[in-house]
Amino acid sequence: MEKHLEEFFPAGTEEGRLLLQVDLDRLPRHVAVIMDGNGRWAASRGLPRAEGHRAGSASVHEIVEASARLGIGVLTLFAFSSENWKRPRPEVGRLWRLLREKLTKEDGLLVRNDIRLRVIGRRQGIPALVLKEIDRVEALTRENRRMTLVVALNYGGRAEIVDAARRILQDGRISPAKLDEKAFAAHLSTEGLPDPDLLIRTSGELRVSNFLLWQIAYAEIIVTPVLWPDFRRKHLLEAVLEFQKRDRRFGDVRSGGERTGKRS
C-alpha cells in the first residue's frame, strides 16, 4: 500500500481492510455528493440545526482529503441549493457565515493536498464577503492538479440549463443545426470536467434534488441511510466498492459497455 494511502487508511482498521478491496485502477473519475441530513442529525441529539451544519463541515474535511488521497479526479459537493433560500433567514445567515469561515480556515487543506477549488452556481445573492473568499481561494488553488473540488453554491440544475441556453442565444455563433450535446455542455458551469460516474446521496432520500441534472445522465446512484455528519471515509470506500460492482452499459445491451465506450 502506498504511504499516502496507508497514513489515511491504516492497515488493520476497517478503512484499511476496505481499501484492500478497492481496485485503484477503476476508481470513478468524478464523484458527486448530495450532502443531506444535517438537520435530522442535530434534531436526533436535541441540538439546534446550526450544530448539524457545523458537524457536517467536519465530514466535508474528511471526505475531501480521502478523495484526493484515493486518486479521485473530481469531487463535487452540493453545499447550498437555489431552493435553500426558503429556509429561515437566521439559518441561511449561519450557513453563509460557516462557509466563509471554512473557506478562510481550510485553504491549507487544499494547498497541502494539491486540490483546486471551483465554485459553480449563480453568484447573485451570495454575500459579498463570501464571494471575496471564494475568489481568493479559487485564485490560490488555480494551478493545483491532484483533484478538483467543485462546490455547488446557490445552484440548481434547471437554472444551470436555462443559463446555458441563454448564453448560447446571446452568443449567437451556434446555428440550431450545429447545436449538439457537446456544444451545449460547453456552456454549462461544469465545462471541461468529466460527467459524474458516481452520485452519492446521504440520509436515505430517494431523489436528486435538482442537482447536476444534465451531467448525471449516466451516473451510478448510491443512496446511503447515513446522515451527512456521520459520513466518513469508510462510507466513501463502501460506495466506491459498490460502484465497482456495477455493470455500466451506457445503454449498450452487452456487458462491458463502459470498456468499449459505446453509448446509445
Would you state the pLDDT for residue 259? 45
Q: Is residue 47 part of a domain?
A: yes
Q: Is residue 190 part of a domain?
A: yes
Residue 60 lies in domain: 28-246
Q: Is residue 261 part of a domain?
A: no
Task: Give per-residue pLDDT as tens, 48-67.
Answer: 999 999 999 999 999 999 99
Q: Is residue 252 part of a domain?
A: no
Q: Is residue 258 part of a domain?
A: no
pTM of the model: 0.94
Task: Give per-residue pLDDT as tens, 11-43.
Answer: 999 999 999 999 999 999 999 999 999 999 999
Q: Is residue 12 part of a domain?
A: no
Would you state the pLDDT for residue 251? 72
Would you state the pLDDT for residue 256? 58
User: Per the structure, how many domains does the chain have?
Assistant: 1
**DSSP string of 70-131, one letter each residue:** HT-SEEEEEEEEGGGGGS-HHHHHHHHHHHHHHHHHSHHHHHHTTEEEEEES--TTS-HHHH
CATH code at position 140: 3.40.1180.10
Q: Is residue 186 part of a domain?
A: yes
Residues of the chain with pLDDT under 70: 1, 253-264
Q: Is residue 221 part of a domain?
A: yes
For the chain, report the end-to-end CA distance as a whole number of angstroms: 39
Give the catalytic positions in this structure: 36, 84
